[in-house]
Amino acid sequence: MIEALKSDFIVNKVGGRFKLCTLIQRRLVQLMEGARPLVPRDGRSDLELVIEEILQDKITLDFDGSAFEVTQYV
């Protein structure tokens, strides 16, 4: 299991478990569809990349009133 998911730090950083799950799922879909990772892969899985992107504040989850969108910061 990814160590970052064992603590509440990442949950609080994103704003809750639902938002964290949504952000992870949306970003995983982007990566599977060919989006470039915002952190070096270094042999890590897509899930590990997403967690690292969250921890480094490279992505966030924005709610525009009708849907959640992943915002990327380069």
d(CA 50, CA 59): 8
Check whether 74 has a pLDDT greater than 80: no
**Paired residues of 63 in beta bridges:** 68
d(CA 19, CA 60): 10
Nearest to 4 by CA among 42, 39, 54, 41: 54
Tell me the whole-structure pTM to 2 decimals.
Answer: 0.87
pLDDT digits (tens, 9 = 90+) for 23-70: 999 999 999 999 999 999 999 999 999 999 999 999 998 877 666 678
Q: What pLDDT is stored for residue 65 in this prediction?
A: 61
Task: Quickly count helices (H) and strands (E) in the chain.
Answer: 3, 2
